[in-house]
Each structure stands twice: as structure tokens, then as C-alpha cells.
Amino acid sequence: MKFKLIFVQFIFLILELNNAEESFYCSFDTRLVDGDKFLSYLRNHGYGCVLFDKKHGEDSENEELFKHLQDESDFEVKYITSTGENSINPVIDSSICQKFENLEFIDIQSSSITKINSDSLSGCKILEILNLGENEISSIPDKLFDRNLRLSHVNLAQNNLTTLPENLFANNHELEELNINNNEINDLPPNIFKSCSKLKYLKINNNKIENLNPNWFESLKNLEILFSNNNKISEINSKVFNELTGLKSLYLNGNGIKTLSPEGFLGLKALSRLYLQENEITYLPENIFQDLENLVDLNLSSNKIGFISTDSFGNHSELWKLNLQSNDIKILDPNSFKSMQSLVELNLAANQILELPENVFENLRNLMSLYLGNNKLETLTVGCFKGLRSLTTLSLGYNNLIDLPESIFTPLSNLEFLHLDQNNLTTIHSDSFGYTAKLQRIYLKSNLVNAVDEKILRLAPKATLVVDVAPCVNYYVANIRQRLSKCFKNYKPRTV
């Protein structure tokens, strides 16, 4: 068999010398060594050696040490890795595991591997970590991992796989992480993960999966994170995740999901993060998130949701972050967010919202950021911001606001940033504001502002107005009356 002489940049080995007490990490470099049997074996496979002195933390090219390495039995190789700048033999055969049977970690990423034989790993009985990512493997043999009982981490991402064999993991009871992202997988056998009750992380992003099969998940009581972004899932079926009672994060973004079954998320009692952005969801069935008692972060941005009703979110008192940006929401039910007392961030930007019902955010006493930019607001309903006593950031830019009603911002005693840019405001009246000692910036660019009530500087003593009115284009107007009169031609100081 002809091996290409290849140069694999780093192969770290832990060496234990029989007649020395030190142990050494060894990284191989073809350019540096000559000689003995072991080294010539490695050289023939494209590896060479520089010794790394663990004790002194330095590379050493100590020829004396090499002399001890006459025989393979002098040391144990635990870890083999390549950075893949040059390709090694495109077929992985059994020779590596025959030679280094104590390997715990094989890392042959980006090495143009096209094939792996079914007995390639059978000699590596204590293998724990296998990385074959970024190669061109198009099929995995059925019995590949049969003898690797300790296997815990497998990376097969970015290969040319279309599926995996039914019994591939039948003996891998220790498997904790599987990454098959970026392949061409359209389906997996139903019982593929039957033995993998310790699996914690399953990554199947960027494949061609159309249906999530509930059988895959039946044994995965310890699964914590399921990544299934950018597949072709169009529907979340009833109870598909029912057995994933330990799941904490679920990534389903970028699939083209159109329909959510009302029981689609049933069983996910531990779930705290749900990512559904960049899909085509038009409608949230009543109480769809009912079972998700521990949900803290829900991302529904970039969908086609048309309205939010009282029952859209049920009584989600634990939720911290709700992202509904870039949907088609026109109407907010006044009770939409009533139960979300823990909410810290609410993003409703880039929708079609015409109106904010009175008291719609009333119970959101912990809300710190509210994004309403890029909607169709022409007026603000009196009382719409009632209850938002923790709010620090309010974005109302890119709407059609003409006027700010009296007392509209008075509930916002902790406000720091107020975005009003790109509206049709002509006057900023101080009576819109209460005492806002923390207000730092009011953004007013791209409005029609020609008058600002000076009293605002007493109500918001630290505030800076960010304006672009001639002659104050890109001007920061901070606490200075003369500047106000210079910037606004209708500026009339009022005595209070």
C-alpha cells in the first residue's frame, strides 16, 4: 500500500518513558527527526516528532530523548490530531488503531477523508472522542463504533452523509454529544439513538430533514440541547418532543415551519430556551406553550404571525425575553402580556402595529427594554406605558408619530434611552414627561421638530437631545438653553 508522505502539523502524544519519571507531550514534525523504527513508521504516515517537555513547558529537540523511543512499548499514545493542511490517506483503515490501541482522542478534521472502513476503529477500545468533521465521507459503516464502548463525543459535521445506519450507536451507551451538522441528511432510522440515554447534545443543523421522528427521542431523557436549525421541517407535529423531559434548549430556526400543532411542545417541562425565528409561522395555537413551565427565552422573530391574543402565551410567568420582531402583527390584545411579570425584554419591532391598547404592558413591572420601532403607530394611547416602572430603553423610532400625549412617559421613572427618531414629531412638550432623573438620551433625528419645551431639561436633568435640525445637524443638545434657541427656530423659553 502506498502512503503519501504527508505532513500533519501537530500530533500530540503523551509519552510515558519506562525508565524516566517525566512524562512528555509529543508533537510530531516530519522535518525534524530521523531514525528508529517507531519514528520511521510515523514518518511513513507523515508524522514526525518534537518533544514537548511538560515539566519545563518548552519544546525540545532533545536527541537523547529520541534514543529512548526505540520501541513503541516505551510510551503510550493517547491523542492524535491533524490540522489537515495536507491530506492524509483519503481512506481511514484499521492501521491507526492497530498501532495506537490506547488512543482516547482521534482528531482528523479537514483532511479530505472520503471513506472509513468498518474495522477502522475496532482496535481503539478506549476511544472517547472522535472528530472526523469537514471531510468528504458519504457513508458510515454499520459497525463502525461497535467496539468503542467508551465513545462519548462524535463529530461528523460537514461531510457528505445522507443518513446514518440503524445500529451505528447500538453499543455506545456513553455517548454524550453527536454533531452531524452540515450534511445532506434527509432522514435517520427510527431507533438510531435507542442506546444513547446519556446523550446531552444533538446537533443536526443544516441538513435536509423534513420530519422530526418522535422515535429518535424516545430514550433521550438526558438530552439538554437539540439543534435542528436550517432543515426543511414544515410542521411541528403533536407530541413529537414528548419524551425529551430534560431538554433545556431547542433550536428550530430557519426551517420554513408553517404549522405548529397545538400539542407540538407538550412534555418539554424543563425547556428554558426555544428558538423558532426565521420560519413561516402565521398563527400561534391557543396555549401552545402551556407545558413550558420553565421557558425564559422565546424567539419568534421573522415569522408571519398576524396577531397576539390573550391565549397566545397562556400564563407564562417565567419568561424573561420574548422576541416577536419582524412579524405581521397589527393588533395586540390588551391582555396579551398580562401574566408575564418576569419579562425583561419585549421586542415588537418591525410589525404593523397601529395602536397600543391602554394598559397593555401594565403587569410588566420588570421589563427593561421595549422595542416598538418600525411599526405604524400614529398616536400613543394615553396609559399605554402604565406599569413599566423598570423600563430603561423605549424604542419608538420609525413610526408615524405626530404628537406625544400629555403624561405619556410619566410612568417611566427609570427610563434612560428614548428613541423617537424617524417620526413626524413637530414639538416636544415637557408635559409628556414625568421626572426622569436617569434619562440620558432622547433621539429625535429625522422628525419635523421645530420646538422643544425647555422645561424638559428640569424633568430630565441629565438628558441629551440628539437632533438633526438645521443649524444643529448631528447636534447633541445637552442642558444648554442657548443651544436650544439656536437649534429650534420656534424655540420659546418658558418661565416656570
Nearest distance in Å: CB 370, ligand NAG? 16
Q: Which long-range contacts (CB under 8 A, 24 or more apart) does 328-335 make?
A: 328/304, 328/352, 329/305, 329/353, 330/306, 330/354, 331/307, 331/355, 332/307, 332/308, 332/356, 332/357, 332/360, 333/307, 333/308, 333/309, 333/357, 334/358, 334/359, 334/360, 335/310
The distance from CA 20 to its chain's CA centroid, rounded to whole angstroms, is 47
Which residues contact ligand NAG by CB under 6 A?
A: 114, 136, 138, 160, 275, 277-278, 297, 299, 301-302, 314-315, 317, 323, 378, 400, 402, 424
DSSP 3-state percent helix, strand, coil across the chain (nearest 5): 10, 20, 75
Nearest distance in Å: CB 325, ligand NAG? 7
d(CA 63, CA 50): 10
Nearest distance in Å: CB 29, ligand NAG? 30
Nearest distance in Å: CB 64, ligand NAG? 45
Nearest distance in Å: CB 26, ligand NAG? 33
The nearer residue to ligand NAG, 93 or 297, going by C-beta atoms, is 297
Is residue 286 within 8 Å of 310, Cβ to Cβ?
no
The nearer residue to ligand NAG, 60 or 317, going by C-beta atoms, is 317
The nearer residue to ligand NAG, 414 or 424, going by C-beta atoms, is 424
| CB-based burial, 406-419: b 16+ in 10 Å, e otherwise | eebbbbbbebbbbb
The nearer residue to ligand NAG, 24 or 289, going by C-beta atoms, is 289
The nearer residue to ligand NAG, 198 or 273, going by C-beta atoms, is 273
Nearest distance in Å: CB 35, ligand NAG? 37
The nearer residue to ligand NAG, 82 or 323, going by C-beta atoms, is 323
Nearest distance in Å: CB 53, ligand NAG? 41
d(CA 207, CA 4): 33
Q: Which long-range contacts (CB under 8 A, 24 or more apart) does 153-158 make?
A: 153/128, 153/129, 153/177, 154/130, 154/178, 154/179, 155/109, 155/130, 155/131, 155/179, 156/132, 156/180, 156/183, 157/133, 157/181, 157/182, 157/183, 157/203, 158/133, 158/134, 158/182, 158/183
Nearest distance in Å: CB 166, ligand NAG? 22
